[in-house]
Structure 1
């Protein structure tokens, strides 16, 4: 993971919409040497419902990783999933998911032949689509977004330092999508692409923190702790998850968050709701987005 070359994604014809983004192909970020893999920060020791674990495992089953591979996850009938043959288990109805086709000769990020774990697909096409019944956020429609939009998720005191680190670590561009469900649950997903997988790990550890609690707090969650409700590492394969839940007592809204470390891309999933943000749709959303990046 020591390569810091700027391998441009062939499928990203449009210029990135970062506020001060470097030109495509220009060297960005500090030179790096070999960077150790990020420690897997996983929630262990939590009591996981057997039915939910089986559901999650079924959700993550997908076909091969060839061009246009379809995920049969979101469209499964509830009765097709062992242990969850109920009318309302809290899951959302996502459209059938497919991986975008790659140019000939290029491989997906965690294939054996993709040494530097580069996503060669258009980052916008790797964003999880909104589920059925959602109202799309007019500022987060699935395209490129600016640094300022991403930074607005964090408490004001963290923004100047985080803005500088976006430049220091050579973030190439940011794609984002958001929506609100009929019950008031809001979801925002950001995908940040770097010039190498090693820079993703370094940025996550240095700028955001990868411990029991994130160092850089979100606006909606001034204090958060590791989510111990699931054995996340058993469900995501090569993708590393850092999942946090807001510490009680909660404010007017309950905020859940997850960072997804996947090759040259870092994902942020934020989900909040007045009163309480339900666990099942959050887990479903995080796992599906992880699979699209894996």
Structure 2
């Protein structure tokens, strides 16, 4: 698999067409219309302040996470080009099961809008079109017609949970009043189904409150559909988290039912992500593609 580089979107005036699905909420969008074509306003070269030490530490963690899966973000390649794959535990060979994702690109922001974790955005709002923050499908994937990468309804999102829990989750969503929900899904040749949901709220408080209300933390909380006993995935390290993101990663434990499920919630400012990998059969889903998918999705949100 070739390495991925995350690049920043450039100024543009053409919007994305052909999206399907309906917004999670009804009514007119806010003034910073996420449906509007994203436009990135260029800044003077000397306008950026010196990065704080916490950001510099974050870059080191980003580099480690990206190297582990061959996904190098902009500016992280320096100083690691000489490292051999055998220097990275668990990735001694090329055939490690990673999926072949396309080169990633950060969407441009609407004119005048700050990045989600910039100094001018204390509310940590993602102003980019939420659909453009969804991870694209890897090579060989068959798209999920129900989750094509556009807006989805609350009812479609609720299908991620068990039938008996959907009413209570629906009430949580109604109380939190998310602005939009977007999702993308696909199936790989080995039968693994991947689903990514992004739920954007009006503030960080509502996003973190949703995590709490779902009882996610030391446990996986409200069970997803077709899951049995789900526990914390101890193979995931918090060092894989990007600055300003927090991930809660779980894996179904044996004995499981007719399929095996890996799942993760990520909190990133005003946005909550749910990443799910599922495959029928009695064999566990491969860990590396799941963690690769999660890291790349988190990178887009961070």
Q: TM-score, normalised by structure 1?
A: 0.76
Per the alignment, residue 137 of structure 1 pairs with 144
Q: TM-score, normalised by structure 2?
A: 0.74
Per the alignment, residue 21 of structure 1 pairs with 26
Q: Which moved more, 1:180-189 or 1:83-92?
A: 83-92
Indicate how the Cα distance of structure 1 residues 281 and 248 shifts in structure 2: closer, same or farther if over 3 A, else same. Answer: same
Counterpart contact for 1:18–1:146, Cα < 8 Å: yes
Q: Distance in 2 between matches of 1:54 and 1:288?
A: 9
Structure 1 residue 257 corresponds to structure 2 residue 268: no
Per the alignment, residue 295 of structure 2 pairs with 287
Higher relative contact order (CA 8 A, sep 6+): 1
Structure 1 residue 244 corresponds to structure 2 residue 250: yes
Q: Secondary structure at the match of 2:292?
A: helix
Per the alignment, residue 217 of structure 1 pairs with 223
Counterpart contact for 1:155–1:219, Cα < 8 Å: yes
Q: Secondary structure at the match of 1:141?
A: strand
Structure 1 residue 276 corresponds to structure 2 residue 284: yes
Mark the runs of 5 or more structure 1 residues left unpaired by the alignment: 1-10, 27-52, 65-70
Indicate how the Cα distance of structure 1 residues 259 and 56 shifts in structure 2: closer, same or farther if over 3 A, else same. Answer: farther
Indicate how the Cα distance of structure 1 residues 93 and 196 shifts in structure 2: closer, same or farther if over 3 A, else same. Answer: same
Q: Distance in 1 between matches of 2:71 and 2:220?
A: 26
Mark the runs of 5 or more structure 2 residues left unpaired by the alignment: 1-14, 32-63
Indicate how the Cα distance of structure 1 residues 157 and 12 shifts in structure 2: closer, same or farther if over 3 A, else same. Answer: farther
Indicate how the Cα distance of structure 1 residues 246 and 17 shifts in structure 2: closer, same or farther if over 3 A, else same. Answer: same
Aligned residues: 247
How big is the alpha-carbon RMSD for the aligned residues of Structure 1 and Structure 2? 2.8
Deviation track 1:151-172 (CA, whole Å, cap 9, x = no partner) reads 0110111101111111111111
Deviation track 1:218-250 (CA, whole Å, cap 9, x = no partner) reads 112133111111212453221110111112211
